Homo-oligomer: A and B are copies of this chain.
Amino acid sequence: MSDTIKYLLDEGQIPKTWYNIQADLPKPAPAVLHPGTHQPIGPSDLAPLFPMELIMQEVSTEREIDIPEPVRQVYRQWRPSPLYRARRLEAVLKTPAKIYYKYEGVSPSGSHKPNTAIPQAFYNREAGVKRLVTETGAGQWGSSLAFAGCVFDLAVQVFMVRVSYNQKPYRRALMETYGATCIASPSDQTQSGRAILAQRADHPGSLGIAISEAVEIAAQRDDTKYALGSVLNHVLMHQTIIGQEAMIQMEMAGDFPDVIVGCTGGGSNFAGIVFPFLGAQLRGGRKVRIVAVEPAACPSLTRGQYAYDFGDTAHLTPLTKMHTLGSTFTPPGFHAGGLRYHGMAPLVSHLLELGLIEATAYHQIACFDAGVQFARAEGIVPAPEANHAVRGAINEAIRCREEGKSQTILFNLCGHGHFDMQAYIDYFSGNLKDIKYDEAELAMALAGLPSMKEAA
């Protein structure tokens, strides 16, 4: 029997800095624009929402940014996370490929999200903030910020996309166990929520709507800030500890990836595993193929336009250039709620435009097929979001088998599915369907992209 191999680092090998890919880009990403003036925004424009330390990280072009010691101290509870070689899965697939996965489900909330929730809570606490407001899709982010709120003694309020709020009561219970308040979005607690409910009382919600609600609340009170779980530069940067650790672990294994696979919703776990490898390549290191896997029901990278758009539905955020399905697009209610976002991280979009990464999209049943195959081989049940990365990695391994190539595949298993077992229940009972978005709605959402005629 060929068995799983674990590559584990010492605590001392937790990275001391985050890696900022903005230092190594061949061409800087397009500026973030003010929605009124269409001129580049400055740090002060973001000050109502974020503490200054995070804003400076957002705009920094320094290659390395120090991780504060109190943050590393909390990371130590579950980091460094293990890198596994999936030899049982390789055997099942009869592939000559070597499959490695970095496992982020070892964190207290079961996903990669605490990697950024902890520093975000830390910097807010340092700035005297008392309360954080955020949105969440499947609940991975909301539960992680709730955990971080416990650690740094901050109240946490979470607007949870309604379809996930109903599908995933266990995630909600996790947030409440951590002492956070969880509200189904759209809600009647904000203007933007009430406006949506007036149009459609049973609206399933979307990350774009939940962001509007959270931003609206955060802007109202001085002691309250907003926190975002993906998309923004500083959030992606906090996740680079994943890839930095993985680089050392791949070296321990005496190997180097030919291809890296990650799933993309807002782009943060993907960036986390990919950016350190890509940065090394941009600085003259070995080339690696990079594949972003997104849900076919919400395909921003593969079907969206690369255009300036709002990050939220009520248009309270600045304009960023990204692959977008349009901020009014409501993705259908498939199970990977963490991937139901109309846009993509500007940095990830920029890399796709530069031809440095590829993107592909799969429907959910194919992803659950892969997740169950993975669980039976490796013992870990992936989150529905992570199943997209598993599908992508398995397809690469099958390609290797067909081509007779012994390539090295690395993917990020960004979280476990313990709180999402209803999705597996639906899958086994045949109630899980591949959901197609509404083409007419997409066309309308794309037609409604902000006109940038006045842009700088």
Binding site for B on A (CB under 8 A): 1, 3-6, 8, 11, 70, 73-74, 76-77, 84, 88, 106, 108-110, 147, 150-152, 169-170, 173-174, 176-179, 372, 375-381, 416, 418-419, 421-422, 424-425, 428
Contact = CB atoms under 8 A, between A and B. Distances in A.
Contacts of A106: 106
Given A376-B178, A379-B150, A418-B418, A173 B428 contact: yes
A95 to B, nearest CB: 19
Contact of A3 (B74, B177, B428): B74
Contact of A418 (B70, B150, B170, B379): B170
Given A169-B421, A170-B418, A176-B424, A73 B147 contact: no
A70 to B, nearest CB: 7
Nearest to A5: B76
A216 to B, nearest CB: 27
22 contacts: A3-B73, A3-B74, A4-B76, A8-B11, A77-B379, A106-B106, A108-B378, A109-B379, A147-B379, A150-B376, A150-B377, A169-B425, A173-B421, A173-B422, A173-B425, A173-B428, A174-B418, A174-B424, A177-B375, A177-B381, A418-B418, A419-B421
A456 to B, nearest CB: 44
Given A1-B151, A6-B77, A418-B419, 13 more contacts: A3-B70, A3-B74, A3-B76, A4-B76, A6-B76, A108-B380, A151-B379, A170-B418, A173-B421, A173-B424, A177-B372, A177-B375, A177-B381
A44 B173 CA distance: 50
Top-3 shortest CB links A-B: A108-B379, A418-B418, A170-B421
A177 B76 contact: no
A11 B377 CA distance: 21
A200 B366 CA distance: 44
Nearest to A107: B379
Copies in the complex: 2
A418 B88 CA distance: 25
A174 B381 contact: yes
A13 to B, nearest CB: 12
A288 B108 CA distance: 30
Contacts of A177: 372, 375-376, 381, 421, 424, 428
B6 A11 contact: yes
A88 B73 CA distance: 12
A327 to B, nearest CB: 33
Contacts of A178: 375-376, 379
A264 B456 CA distance: 69
B418 A179 contact: no
A152 B379 CA distance: 12
A6 B106 CA distance: 14
A152 B3 CA distance: 11
Contacts of A4: 74, 76-77
Contacts of A380: 108
A282 to B, nearest CB: 34
Contacts of A378: 108
Contacts of A147: 379
Contacts of A419: 418, 421
A42 B142 CA distance: 57
Nearest to A122: B1
Given A108-B379, A147-B379, A379-B77, A421 B70 contact: no
Contacts of A70: 1, 3
A106 B418 CA distance: 12
Contacts of A428: 173, 176-177
Contacts of A109: 379
Contacts of A174: 381, 418, 421, 424
Contacts of A376: 150, 177-179
A108 B381 CA distance: 8
